[in-house]
Structure 1
Amino acid sequence: MSEVVNVIPQTSQPSARHFNRLFLTTLVFIAVLLTVAEIVSQFQTRRESERVMVIRMASAQRHQSQRLVSQVLQLTRPSELPNFARTLTEIKKLFAQFQTNQLHIEQGTVPGYPVLLQNSDSIKIRYQSLKPYYAGFRDSMQQLILQADRATDPGKFISEADLTALLANEKPFLEKMDEVVQQYTRETLANVEDTRLIGFVIYLFILLALVFAGWFILRPAVNKFEGIIGQLVEAETRTATTNRKLLSLNRALKETRQQLFDATRQQYQQQMDEQKLRTSYLVAGQEEERKRLSRELHDGIGQMLTAIKLQVESFEKSLSGETKGTKNLTVLKNLISQTIQETRNVSNNLMPTVLSDFGLVPAVKMLADTHDKDSTIDIIFHTNLSNTRLDKSVEIGVYRIAQEAVSNALRHADPHQITIDLFEKDNYLHLIVNDDGKGFRIHRSRKEDSKRPSQGIHNMNERAALINGKFKISSAPDKGTKVQVSIPFKLAHQEYEYTQVDAG
């Protein structure tokens, strides 16, 4: 696990904060350059647009001066006499506009627009050389307009001197105005070249900034990122290897835990089997002891009582004339007969000979018939088995459970009828003892169960467990009691060696 902890060691390369500072500085520098380029471009564009507007006005002045001359010449033609007043009005309007425009272009302004162009010294010099011709042209026009206004007869409107002066100033005015326009054009081209040069310089600076960013920021950053990616890939490989080891250890741990669980369960099962075996030996010893007691009762006390009975009967015959003695002997004989019968019952209960001689079915049938003779309670026995012999332990266990269930019902339940069912179904031997007695409440907890003795139920449960059977009891007050045992069905293949006991 220690291999996965420090997957990215510390190096002497610049830190991410250093890269961030360089990157931000480069971005700010490029942004400043772009801003300066934009400001210069906007300023130059605005300046050149103002210069273009002034150039347009200067060009328009040349055209307007030519129009003024043309209009004045029309006033001198006889064919234009009908339109004299209208032509004169147009001349006045055009001349006023001519003067206003000339004043604006000398100041570097444009009427109706927020334009204020700072004329260069070259422009100002050319305007100074233009002023005498402009003044002569202006004065001549003013005189011609004044004379035209004062003329009473338009046909006699002749001002040769002013017209000559006007024509004499027109040509140098146009030439000087051309020089102004050309100077404006040269300055505009120079400014455009300066703007292009500034843009190229800014482009070079931006290109240098990008090269700097690529060489000193992006290249180290990419190298560092490649190293980090390589370390991450190596860490992922180590993590995958560690995960595989952990999965292998986890599987080994699960297998070990399962083996431990199996061993514990096997040990527990072995202990249970040993306990069951010891209990089986104990029960077998009890059964053997019962056989011995039954045999001694039958062969010993039973025979002795039978001999006493025979002696009493012989003595009774010899006292046939004595009434009182005969009566006493009759009582004694009846008492001896009852004792013999009780000895037979005890011997049969200890180990019925029919069980060892004929098997489980006749033994249970005899159990039902015997109680049916000696009691007013009806005991009914049903079975679907033939006289098939079973395993010795199974026959004894099932018979003892049936005997205990019937005995408990007779002693505690006060029933009217007891039903014993013994049948085979689904490879299981089933014993069901059902009575219609008063029943009882089955306690589910040990605390409640300790309040009522249940040794008989405990014995039946233990006997069922010894023969691998399932024991179940169900009861309720005034609902009767039902005892059910299910044992895996297995035929016996060996001979049985029971002691032959005859209860009479």
Structure 2
Amino acid sequence: MVSEVINVPQTSQPSARHFNRLFLTTLVVIAVLLTVAEIVTQFQTRREAERVMVIRMASAQRHHSQRLVSKVLQFNRATTLPAFQDNLADIKKLFAQFETNHLHIEQGTVPGYPVMLQNSDSVKIRFQLLKPYYQGFRESMQRIIQQAEQAKNPATFASGLDLTSLMDNEKPFLDKMDDVVQQYTRETLANVEDTRLLEFIIYLFTLLALVFAGWFILRPAVNKFEGIIVQLVEAETRTATTNRKLLSLNRALKETRQQLFDATRQQYQQQMDEQKLRTSYLVAGQEEERKRLSRELHDGIGQMLTAIKLQVESFERSLNLSPEAKGIKNLMVLKNLISQTIQETRNVSNNLMPTVLSDFGLVPAVKMLADTHDKDSKIDIIFHTNLSNTRLDKSVEIGVYRIAQEAVSNAFRHAEPNQITIDLFEKDNYLHLIVNDDGKGFRIHRSRKEDTKRPSQGIHNMNERAVLINGKFKISSAPDKGTKVQVSIPFKLAHQEYEYTQVDAG
């Protein structure tokens, strides 16, 4: 690991804190100015919006007064009572709205809105000048509405004096209401101008704060940062050079490690091959010794026992000519004992090296293994195969047969099964042997902590034989679930037989 240290002067720390304080102070000032500007703008905007709503109501009053006069003049043109009553209803509704709006305008409020406008003294003076004409207009309208309500038909309605008074107050009312609207407008323009001036002042202060931050904070900080960046670039350059050297050394180290690994693996493989070859020679020697012992048992002891049996049978026939019950009975026992000895010698000879394996191949030998065990016990042994009588490699035939023999023997000795199935078949360029029993099974230890005992010698022997013929050995079992022994050997038959045959040894 390569580390680069950048030497920073001791005075840089207080300077950095000073920059931080100035920068934060400037940000606070700018934030306060922007907040004040926003508050003032929002307040002024709301006030002017309220004033515009009041101005709209004041302008609407002029329109309402003109409509009232027009409606009153329509009384004289009404010829039917329904038209007269409809006109009266419109006048009453419009007059009520006229009175309500005038009261709200005078108070600076708008119906239906949270508006509370404080009228200036100038507006109040103009309302005082407007008040007599409003009162005269209002009283004339009240009398006209009262007379219209009392009239039974349009012909009996007469409002000449009140109509004259209404017309006399209308024009001054309109003029004074125009003065109120114009005063509102002048005040609104003045407030807008004040708001613009205030915003411009706040804008200038904000601009000055930004200039101060740029000149007294950002410029020195940028200069200092430029120096630090130069140092960092130089450090990065040195680091890159060092990294390139380290990468070169790392590649060389990887190559050396790979060479060492290859040499170790080659040496290990060579040792394994030598060990495998020695084991193969040892197993071959054992098989030859088995073959010799089998031949000697069959040709030597077996022939002598057979000769003894023949002599006993001859002696038995001679005794039959001069019968002696006790002698004949003893002779029968001796004859049975000799027959059992001959059969046991044949079994031992066959187990050591079955002649059918060397003479006819793997399939007949496994079938004979199933037949022999099935005849000697009550356990059903079923043999399945899809192989023909094509001969295999000698080591493969011997290894597979010994594994099958060991698996069947273990099942007989330990599993107490009702049925044993032997499957021997070729699939996907592999020769598979599966020996399955339905016996009591056992628990297979999966970890070294559980495996407190040495593995069974039979399982060890089957595994070693599978390794010698480049096979994969697998055993699976569980209590009361039976046991399954499986061996797979990479092998491609010269002539494949696809017809699957089943042979029941029983």
Contact 1:382 1:420 in 2 (8 A): yes
Equivalent positions of 1:44-443 (< 5 A) are 235-324=235-324, 325-443=327-445
Aligned counterparts of 2:406 and 2:481: Cα–Cα separation in 1: 20
Q: Per-residue deviation at 1:490?
A: 4.2
Structure 1 residues 474 and 9: CA distance shift in structure 2, 3 A: closer
Contact 2:430 2:491 in 1 (8 A): yes
Number of equivalent positions? 295
Q: Per-residue deviation at 1:360?
A: 0.8
Q: Per-residue deviation at 1:331?
A: 2.6
* Counterpart AA for 2:368: M
Equivalent residue for 2:451, pick from 426, 449, 452 = 449
* Counterpart AA for 2:344: E
Secondary structure of 1:379 counterpart: strand
Aligned counterparts of 2:237 and 2:455: Cα–Cα separation in 1: 69
TM-score normalised by length of structure 2 = 0.52
Q: Per-residue deviation at 1:388?
A: 1.8
Contact 2:422 2:436 in 1 (8 A): yes
Secondary structure of 1:323 counterpart: coil
Aligned counterparts of 2:444 and 2:433: Cα–Cα separation in 1: 20
Segment drifting more, 469-478 vs 264-273: 264-273
Aligned counterparts of 1:448 and 1:459: Cα–Cα separation in 2: 21
Q: Per-residue deviation at 1:322?
A: 2.7
* Counterpart AA for 2:329: K
CA deviation profile, 1:434-460 (whole Å, cap 9, x unmatched): 111111122223454334761111111
Equivalent residue for 1:470, pick from 472, 495, 499 = 472
Secondary structure of 2:446 counterpart: coil
Aligned counterparts of 1:319 and 1:363: Cα–Cα separation in 2: 43
Q: Per-residue deviation at 1:229?
A: 7.5
Aligned counterparts of 2:286 and 2:357: Cα–Cα separation in 1: 16
Contact 2:423 2:434 in 1 (8 A): yes
Aligned counterparts of 1:319 and 1:327: Cα–Cα separation in 2: 11
The structure number with the bigger radius of gyration is 1
Structure 1 residues 258 and 453: CA distance shift in structure 2, 3 A: closer
Contact 2:4 2:235 in 1 (8 A): no
Q: Per-residue deviation at 1:393?
A: 1.3
Aligned counterparts of 1:475 and 1:323: Cα–Cα separation in 2: 60
Contact 1:420 1:433 in 2 (8 A): yes
* Counterpart AA for 1:402: A
Structure 1 residues 7 and 476: CA distance shift in structure 2, 3 A: closer
Aligned counterparts of 2:232 and 2:450: Cα–Cα separation in 1: 66
Contact 1:8 1:228 in 2 (8 A): no
* Counterpart AA for 1:282: L
Aligned counterparts of 1:233 and 1:448: Cα–Cα separation in 2: 60
Aligned counterparts of 1:372 and 1:228: Cα–Cα separation in 2: 92
Secondary structure of 1:319 counterpart: helix
* Counterpart AA for 2:411: A
Aligned counterparts of 2:494 and 2:462: Cα–Cα separation in 1: 22
Secondary structure of 1:431 counterpart: strand
Structure 1 residues 365 and 234: CA distance shift in structure 2, 3 A: same
Secondary structure of 2:417 counterpart: coil
Structure 1 residues 8 and 491: CA distance shift in structure 2, 3 A: same
Q: Per-residue deviation at 1:303?
A: 1.1
CA deviation profile, 1:42-97 (whole Å, cap 9, x unmatched): xxxxxxxxxxxxxxxxxxxxxxxxxxxxxxxxxxxxxxxxxxxxxxxxxxxxxxxx
Secondary structure of 2:425 counterpart: strand
